[in-house]
Each structure stands twice: as C-alpha cells, then as structure tokens.
Chain A
Amino acid sequence: MALDFSFTEEQEFFRQTVRDAVNRLIMPRVKELDEKEEFPWDLWKEFAGLGYLGLRHQETYGGMETDTITQMIFYEELARGSCGFAMSAIMQILMGTYFIARFGNEEIKQRILVPAIKGEKIGTICFTEDQSGSDLGGTRTLATKVDGGWRINGRKQWITNGPIAEFTTVMATVDPKLGLKGLNFFLVEKKTADRDGFVTGQRLHKLGSRCSVTGELVYDNVFIPDENFLGEEIGKGVQYAGEILNEVRVMTGMNALAISKEAMEDARQYANNRVAFGNPISKYQLIREKFAKFWAWYEASRTLLYKCAWMIQSNIPCTNECMLAKYHATEMCMYAVEEGMRIYGGNAFCSEYPVQRFWRDAKFLLYGGGTHEVLCDYLGRIYCKD
C-alpha cells in the first residue's frame, strides 16, 4: 500500500484557495492583460499582498517554507489565469530569488530578499545571451576579479521581468575557454545615481505571455562588491543551477497542464454548443477523438509531473524524470492548444475567442528549462547509453 496518488485534504484546500484567488483577481482581467501588453502593477501589488511571493522562502524573511508539492499546486493554479502574470510571479518566487536566499549574506537578504517577498523589489535571473541559452557553456558575459569585487561585462537577452527588475542574478563566466566550468552567479542591481549597476536595453514584444515584460539587460563594466558573488566556490555555477533546474522543469510542466486544461475546457464548451450539419460538433467522432487523446495525455502528464514533485520533495534524484515530465507536458499542451484552434474552426483566428491566446501563451513554454530539441537529444543519448 505504499503507492498513493491522492492529495491530502489540506492540499486540496490549498488548491481551492489559490483557485478562488485566481478566479477573483486574475480571471476577470485576462483579456485586458493580454491586449495591453504591460506589466500590471496594480494586480502585482494586490497579489503580493496575499503573501504568495514568499511561498518557498524561510519564515525569517517573510516566507512560508512550503513543500514542493504545495508549490507545484500553486504554479498549476496560477497559470490557469494568465500565463504571463504567472511567469512574472514565478520568476520572483523561484529563479529570481533562489540564489540570493541560498548564498546572500544577511545584509543582502534584508535589503533584497525581504522586499522581494513583499513584491516591493522585482528580481530576475539572467542566463540567455545572443549565442547561448540552452547551451550555457556558450555564455560570454564576463566576470573579472578586481580589488574588493568583480567587474561584469556583457548583455543578457530574453530576460523575464528584465525591463522592471531592480536586481538580477547574473550567470557570467570567469573565462569563456572554461565552458561550463567557468560559470558563476553574481548579484547585480540596477544602476542608480549612487550605485553602479545594469541598465535596461531593448524590450521585446512577444507572441504570447504578453503581460510579463521581457527584454535585454546591459552590464557595462559594472563593479559589484565581493559579497555579490553568489556561491561558495568559483566555477560551480552550473552545479548550483542544477539545484533548481528540476523544480523549474516541473513548474514549466505545471504551467503547460494549466493552459492545456483551460484550452480544452473552453473547446469542450464550444464543441457542445457549435452546431454543424444539425448536431453539436462534439457529436462527431473526429472531434471526440481530439478530446480523448488530450484526456489520455493530460492524465499521463499530470501523474508524471506530480511524481516528479514528490521525488524532488523526497530528495530522490530525478533529473531525467523531470526532463521527461517537462517535455511530455509541454508537447501535450501544444497538442491541446493546436486541436483547440481546430475545434474552433475559423473563429479561432479572431481575438474574440480565447483559444488563440492559449495557443500563443503555450508557445512560451517550449524554451525554458531547455528547448525540446536539446532535451530530447540528451534523453535519447541517456536511453541509448551512448
């Protein structure tokens, strides 16, 4: 009787509570958030006030120290509303603050982590450059050791929350020739009149997840003090990144679950009401097959994702499982949004119906945590014991 797939009554209660908050705060504004393509500061303040930004941080700094399964329930429910808003919030909760909480000294935690948990300072993590993303070894942003600190030089692209960020965790190399072994994380804050720091570059206009602002950040010979080196040892950045990569992949899968479910629930209602040739189109076998396939793949994805959440929580090594789960969930989501578009027929092609937004938002999930080409190449190699 060791195998148990049920959520506890408390977890179900937590899910219901988050669902209610999303229904009341985000759902009524989803269309507006997508169309405006601006960061919704008012929603951010209201949401931050509920305390969810501290979900995985220590109570000492205003966090809640929840377990991994609870966090994943939260990510799944949050993404039901607006994928863009979920991206911004999750960046703050997970990637944008993890290394500061892990390696920052007390002064840094009080100055940055505490206001970040309150939503007063927005942060982000910076991996991607023009020639590197999934290929972290290609990172060119350079960290040079100087007296009392470091000089950071480089440009980071595709940075979620970048245009509004006040602090960043930047991946930089101490020597590009070292590849993955030269990588490290540094805390770099935004440039002000009395502090050196990064400046914002071009903002990107995206296909989907549009209320999460994304852009380029420029590090032009920025001086940072020694304490802004986030790590215990130089050259261990990739190892440190690995500490949250499993969570990031499962979180991305949870977002895929949410979007696919919303898309197919929406398509189901449409198919039950849209009449063609005298019947609702859900009466036709080719339409029903789409729902049957989705249902099967959705259930498989959900089971694998929560298994991974359980493995992370139980400290069971699960790198490959998390890659598989992210890959499967996101591909399942691609199927759901594509078939949702087909169920809607020509109506899918206008902005009156939400199905096109699900389709656009879902594409954003293909890249974070490794493109599927990179993941599949790696997984195939592992499977073939190459």
Chain B
Amino acid sequence: MEIYVLVKQVPDPEAIIKVKSDLELEIENKYFTSFFDEIAVEAGLKLKEKFGGKVTVLTLDNRRVDALRRGISMGADEAVQIADPAFEGSDQFAVARTLAAYLKDKPFDLILTGRQAMDDDAGIVGPGVAECLGIPHVHSIISLEVDVQGREAKVTREVENGKEILTCPLPALFTCQKGLNSPRIPQVMNVMKAMKAQIKKVDLASLGLGPADVGSQALRVKVQKYLPPPKRPPVKMIKEDFPENVKTLVKLLREEAKVI
C-alpha cells in the first residue's frame, strides 16, 4: 500500500506561549508532533506491516521538520517537507491546497492525518485535502480495516450515544482519533536513522502554485485578536463557622462560580 501521512509540529504542552500583540504569539522554542498525527503515523505503519508498501510523512513548515523525523523514527520510509517563504501566514485552506497540489500526481491508496492539530484545533486541513483531491473522507476514525483486493476500507467513528461503521472506496483520506491505536515509542536505532535522515524539500513553484494561492494573499480565515486566558482570581476565604460556611460555599458555587 502507498500511504501518505500528513503531520504537523506543534508547540510542546510545556512550552511557554505569550500573547505578544493582538496578532502575534510568542512561542517558546519547544515543539513536538501533534498527538493525533502520531496516531495517524502508527495506523499507516500497521497497514504497511500487514500489507507491505511504503509510508511517507509529509509536512508544510518553513522552519521545522520535527514531525518528519518523528515519523521516520517510528518507521516511516520517506519524509517530505514543503517549504517556501510564500507560505508565511497561510491559513488552513492554503495549507490544504498546497498539500493536495503535492499529492495530486502521486500514486496513493490512503492518506491519513490527525483529526485536528493540537495548536489551533481547527480540524480543517484533513477534510480540505480530501476535497481538493476529490476523494472520500471520514473524520475521527477509531478503527480501520483495509480490504486491499476489494480496494475498500471499513472504518468506525464515534457518534453521539454510539458508533458508526462505514465502508469507503480507496483511495480515501481518514483523520484519526484517540482510541484508534497507541503510537509506538521509537527504537533508538530508528531514532538515529531519523537524526541522520535527508529530508526531501519541495518549494511552491514545483507544485504549480503561485504566491496568490497561499500566504496572506489567500487568507480566508483571519485572526482578529489573540487573548490570553483570564488570570486566576484571588482566593476567597470563608471565615464563618459551620453550618453558615457551607451555605455560603454553596451560594458562591451557584452564583459566582456557576458550577452547580
């Protein structure tokens, strides 16, 4: 099977993120692979182990290739970075358009990616790529079986109060949800391989796209303003004795905190 996995490097949960200005974030230089994308890589590797073939990890990022190295360390065969100064400021639609432009001439059976990136939580790129390529797409799958001969996949996804089982002709794109698998911890031999791996680089021109197709010129979703989370309010001490203190606590939980 020819499998492509779309991956993204996102700020580490431990990284310090500050709102620098209305439209700019200051992010500490700590990145890791978006968790849902790791699930997608694992799903691709499991299919490769069963049916043979090749897993390629693909990212669009001008600066970082952490997620590609992570993919190789887990067992992916190839890694491709799409990078070009014109991508600066691209929204999710431009990213989807670009990834699809790279994939459109490639022979693939399956494209996998995370259900959403763990930084912007948008969940747009996966379905966007499928739309651009004109292939079927199922979102947030928690199981995946492939019938190679019949060129068909059977997937499960969670719906309200239950599960939905779907079949889908290949080639298709699936976004992966927690529960599909537990991503493997890479073996050090593969980590070393990933550290030395040559990453193939692709630029905008080679994809047949122009500057108007990506970056700030092609924005369909605009950030209006970043807001930091509200600061923790001061601790309120209830100084009354029992049972008045309980009554006051219940009142505060109901009227101020609004949690009951």
State whether B185 touches A13 (Cβ < 8 A). no
State whether B66 touches A16 (Cβ < 8 A). yes
* Chain A 37-67 interface 0/1 with B at a Cβ cutoff of 8 Å (1 = within): 0000000000001111011000000001010
The reply to whether the CB of B205 lies closer than 8 angstroms to some CB of chain A is no
Interface-forming stretch among B117-125, B168-176, B186-194?
B186-194
The reply to whether the CB of A35 lies closer than 8 angstroms to some CB of chain B is no
State whether A54 touches B66 (Cβ < 8 A). no
The reply to whether the CB of B259 lies closer than 8 angstroms to some CB of chain A is no
State whether A50 touches B185 (Cβ < 8 A). yes
Residue picked from A11, A17, A52, most chain B C-beta under 10 Å: A17
User: What is the distance, in angstroms, from B206's C-beta to the closest C-beta of chain A?
Assistant: 24
Contacts of A50 in B (CB 8 A): 185-188
User: What is the distance, in angstroms, from B34's C-beta to the closest C-beta of chain A?
Assistant: 13
The chain B residue sitting closest to A10, CB to CB, is B195
Docked complex: B159-203 residues within 8 A CB-CB of A: 185-189, 191-192, 194-196
The reply to whether the CB of A25 lies closer than 8 angstroms to some CB of chain B is yes
State whether B188 touches A51 (Cβ < 8 A). yes
Contacts of A10 in B (CB 8 A): 69, 195-196
The reply to whether the CB of A275 lies closer than 8 angstroms to some CB of chain B is yes
User: What is the distance, in angstroms, from A118's C-beta to the closest C-beta of chain B?
Assistant: 12
* Chain B 57-75 interface 0/1 with A at a Cβ cutoff of 8 Å (1 = within): 0000000011001100100
Contacts of A52 in B (CB 8 A): 188
Complex CA distance for A20 and B69, rounded to whole angstroms? 14
State whether B188 touches A54 (Cβ < 8 A). yes
The reply to whether the CB of B235 lies closer than 8 angstroms to some CB of chain A is yes
Contacts of B102 in A (CB 8 A): none
The chain A residue sitting closest to B197, CB to CB, is A10
The chain A residue sitting closest to B73, CB to CB, is A17
Docked complex: B2-16 residues within 8 A CB-CB of A: 12
Contacts of A49 in B (CB 8 A): 187
State whether A24 touches B192 (Cβ < 8 A). no
Contacts of B31 in A (CB 8 A): 16
User: What is the distance, in angstroms, from A269's C-beta to the closest C-beta of chain B?
Assistant: 12
Q: Given A52-B188, A64-B192, A13 and B69 touching (CB < 8 A)?
A: yes
The reply to whether the CB of B108 lies closer than 8 angstroms to some CB of chain A is no
Q: Given A10-B196, A24-B185, A17 and B191 touching (CB < 8 A)?
A: yes
Complex CA distance for A373 and B50, rounded to whole angstroms? 60
Q: Given A13-B195, A16-B32, A64 and B189 touching (CB < 8 A)?
A: yes
Complex CA distance for A278 and B65, rounded to whole angstroms? 46
Complex CA distance for A129 and B191, rounded to whole angstroms? 40
State whether B187 touches A55 (Cβ < 8 A). no
User: What is the distance, in angstroms, from B42's C-beta to the closest C-beta of chain A?
Assistant: 13
Contacts of A55 in B (CB 8 A): 188
State whether A17 touches B70 (Cβ < 8 A). yes
The reply to whether the CB of A21 lies closer than 8 angstroms to some CB of chain B is yes
The reply to whether the CB of A14 lies closer than 8 angstroms to some CB of chain B is yes
Contacts of B69 in A (CB 8 A): 10, 13
The chain A residue sitting closest to B234, CB to CB, is A278
Docked complex: B228-259 residues within 8 A CB-CB of A: 234-235
User: What is the distance, in angstroms, from A152's C-beta to the closest C-beta of chain B?
Assistant: 35
The chain B residue sitting closest to A279, CB to CB, is B234
Complex CA distance for A59 and B188, rounded to whole angstroms? 12
Complex CA distance for A51 and B65, rounded to whole angstroms? 24
Complex CA distance for A13 and B189, rounded to whole angstroms? 14
Complex CA distance for A52 and B194, rounded to whole angstroms? 15
Contacts of A13 in B (CB 8 A): 66, 69-70, 191, 194-195
State whether A275 touches B195 (Cβ < 8 A). no
Complex CA distance for A209 and B235, rounded to whole angstroms? 38
- The one of A20, A64, A275, A278 in contact with B188, judged by C-beta atoms closer than 8 angstroms, is A64
* Chain A 273-310 interface 0/1 with B at a Cβ cutoff of 8 Å (1 = within): 00100100000000000000000000000000000000
User: What is the distance, in angstroms, from A196's C-beta to the closest C-beta of chain B?
Assistant: 36
User: What is the distance, in angstroms, from B115's C-beta to the closest C-beta of chain A?
Assistant: 20
User: What is the distance, in angstroms, from A132's C-beta to the closest C-beta of chain B?
Assistant: 36
Complex CA distance for A10 and B195, rounded to whole angstroms? 5
State whether A20 touches B187 (Cβ < 8 A). no
Complex CA distance for A52 and B192, rounded to whole angstroms? 11
Q: 8 interchain pairs (CB within 8 A)?
A: A10-B69, A11-B195, A13-B66, A25-B185, A51-B187, A51-B188, A52-B188, A275-B235
Besides A13-B194, A49-B187, 13 more A-B contacts (Cβ < 8 Å) are A9-B65, A11-B195, A13-B66, A13-B195, A14-B195, A17-B191, A17-B194, A20-B185, A21-B186, A55-B188, A64-B188, A275-B235, A278-B234
- Identify the A interface with B (CB < 8 A): 9-11, 13-14, 16-17, 20-21, 24-25, 49-52, 54-55, 64, 66, 275, 278
